[in-house]
Chains A and B, each alone.
Chain A
Amino acid sequence: MSVLEVSDLSIRFGGLQALQDLTLTVNEFEIVGLIGPNGAGKTTAFNCITGFYKPDTGKVVYRGQDVTRTPPHKKAAMGFGRTFQNVGMVKSSTVLDNLKTAQHARVQYDVVTGLLGGGRVAAEERALEAKADAILELLGLTEFRHLRVGGLSYGTLKLLELGCALATEPDVLLLDEPSSGMGPEESHELGERLIELRKAFGLTMLLIEHHVPLVLSVCDHIYVLNFGRLLAEGKPSVIQTHPEVVAAYLGGEAPEELAATAETPEEAALDEATHPVAAKKAPAKKAPAKKAAAPRKKASS
């Protein structure tokens, strides 16, 4: 059964067609990868699916229910968990408080009861804390429990953000570059962890990822985006050898006229501000990719 069905999704920012007729399906318990060069529209697709952007046309259907126009916080309550490309957490709070904040939609008491206090609220707050501790233990982050998030290293933050997404009790988890800031070994571990989490929590996942070995090893199905359009889709083995994908992404010459398209301004800003590591790392992976990346960098600046 398909958990998430996206059909003909399009969105335009000014003169830029950020997404054009994107159609994808995520089935129950699948890990689906969304890959593509910088500025291909991956994060935009995430934002449309999770409700942060309202698509111009197209539909997002979650378990048979049209949720295209549902605001993000309601989607979170429905079971959409997501992480951000730049780490999405409350930086001035402690790790524990972040995990409790993330459980917001699962809290049973209402605002007034919370303000009055009492035994029921206290019991529930303890339950939230217990759940937070369980997640910390699962991810091996218990030692950071009382630290402020703002002082942690980037790799820890990415893992912790995954923990926060888990704390929202998601049904479908959308991960935006979970392995950024991690070395090859750590990202391999992350891949194994994702598969374990899927099993433990019965999750369905959609992930944006730049680290190709990770995508190829964990994903059941891969969609490749390029300049806002779906370039290819299929099993990892198919994608790996797909000629157009190899040309556009895995390392080959990109056609000249297409390379001039800029990223969406928001994505460019996000990339620059939070992602210097990934931005530098991506072109270095394979030598020919450098050529393709150079004109794009120019256009986005």
Chain B
Amino acid sequence: MTAVAAAPAVSPWRLSGAGLAARGLAYLGLAVVLFLPSFATDFSKTCSLAVIYALMGLSLNIVVGYTGQLSLGHQGFLGLGALVTANIVAQAQLPIWLAMACAVLATTGVALVLGLVALRITGLYLSLITLVFGSAISSSLFALARFTDNNSGVKIQRPHYLATNGDWYLVCVAVLLVVFYFDYRLTVSKVGRALLALKENERVAEAFGIGVTSYKLLAFALSGAIAGLAGGLYAFRGELYSEKDFQDPNGFTLALLFVVMCVVGGLGNRLGVVVAGLFFGLINELLDDLFYAHWVHPWMQHVPVLGSYYSSDVKASYLASLIGALLLLQTLIFNRGGLGAQLRPISRWMTGHRFELHDATHSGPAVAEGSSVRA
């Protein structure tokens, strides 16, 4: 109890010149790494997907991480966002930004309905309802021929000033950064404190003057809005809306992937979830293109039994889900805080604190005693 006077955060303008320069360089490096993929043609498309996954991670994190409810239907929001965007652009010829705004409105509205359900039903049953929501919307709304150009997919075009994949990738990154900022604001303002209080104990929250109804709905609405935005980006990424991306079994795989991303990233940990989202977004393509096609497949043919199992049309996504499962296990057993907890020393250093592997504030006895994983 004595080692409490933890050094308060050094504010950035009180850092030494060298410290400031080092951090400036780190940010510059990060900016370059984020910027580089925009020069590639195919790879930038893959990276856009990774950024969209990161957005979905942030979206789901609000529901799972901040309010403590498990949603297994988030691919429904992504698909709805893509559907609305693509159809508005293709059928009403509205400008792309307006179409994406409509997508956000639509997903926010649907998320609010789900939020109303969440007011009454929590825990396992809510997860079940979100699961049913995801597959219901994919087999009804997504299957309507009207919205899928008679099942051939809705073709749309990006505006001429964003014609290349690299341009669109930069748009995705910009959106991610803006959403990241709002998510940060969420956690440091009264909203984040209210959501955390609600997650732990609704009665206590109410005694503190926090309206349970409005804040739960707010959380779902924000989550839906981000997912709708991600859906809009998704539609323009491939310049094609295809309902099959979000219909089962693809849809359910996506929904699970989003949850795995959140857990592996660290529930409620913004940075961890974004990194996990980027990782899972990239891993499929990377495995396909590099690892699997060039190394594993030629080599596997010589292995008895396994060789016959690996035919040429087997995609690396199998390997990716295996990696996902292993990472999930690793997180749950060894590292409940997820990637975010591992990245914490770095993120603290980047925000102007001293580099410490264990910071006094957040390694109280409570960490060892209670898990932060809650479904």
Contact = CB atoms under 8 A, between A and B. Distances in A.
Interface string B357-373: 00011101111011010
A102 B188 contact: no
B114 to A, nearest CB: 19
B225 to A, nearest CB: 11
A97 B367 CA distance: 16
Contacts of B190: 104, 107, 109, 111, 114
B367 A115 contact: no
B214 to A, nearest CB: 9
B203 A88 contact: yes
A52 interface: yes
A208 B306 CA distance: 71
A297 to B, nearest CB: 26
A125 interface: yes
A92 B362 CA distance: 10
B319 to A, nearest CB: 36
Contacts of A71: 206, 211
Contacts of B369: 150-151
A258 to B, nearest CB: 30
A73 B4 contact: no
Interface stretch (B40-48, B193-201, B277-285): B193-201
Contacts of B209: 73-74, 76-77, 104-106, 168
Contact of B207 (A82, A117, A143, A151): A82
A72 B197 CA distance: 15
Nearest to B181: A117
Please report whether the interface of chain B is mostly helix, strand, loop or mixed according to DSSP: helix
Nearest to A108: B190
A151 B5 CA distance: 16
A50 interface: yes
B188 A125 contact: yes
Interface in B225-274: none
A73 B211 contact: yes
Nearest to A169: B209
Given A144-B4, A151-B365, A92 B200 contact: yes
A93 interface: yes
A190 interface: no
Contacts of A164: 208
Contact of A117 (B185, B210, B211, B364): B185
Contact of A101 (B196, B211, B364): B196
B197 A114 contact: no
B1 interface: yes
Contacts of B211: 71, 73-74
A147 B208 contact: no
B191 A111 contact: yes
A90 B211 CA distance: 16
B366 A148 contact: yes
A92 B185 contact: no
Contact of B200 (A91, A105, A151): A91
A100 interface: yes
A173 B200 CA distance: 23
A73 B206 contact: yes
B182 A91 contact: no
B219 to A, nearest CB: 11
A197 to B, nearest CB: 18
Nearest to B222: A115
Interface of A: 50-52, 71-74, 76-77, 81-82, 84, 88-94, 97, 100-102, 104-107, 109, 111, 114-117, 121, 125, 143-151, 164-165, 168
18 contacts: A51-B206, A52-B206, A72-B207, A74-B211, A76-B207, A90-B196, A90-B197, A93-B196, A93-B197, A100-B193, A104-B209, A105-B209, A111-B190, A111-B191, A115-B186, A117-B189, A147-B4, A151-B364
Given A91-B200, A146-B6, A148-B366, 15 more contacts: A73-B206, A73-B211, A74-B211, A88-B203, A88-B207, A91-B370, A92-B366, A94-B361, A100-B193, A105-B210, A114-B190, A144-B1, A150-B370, A168-B208, A168-B209
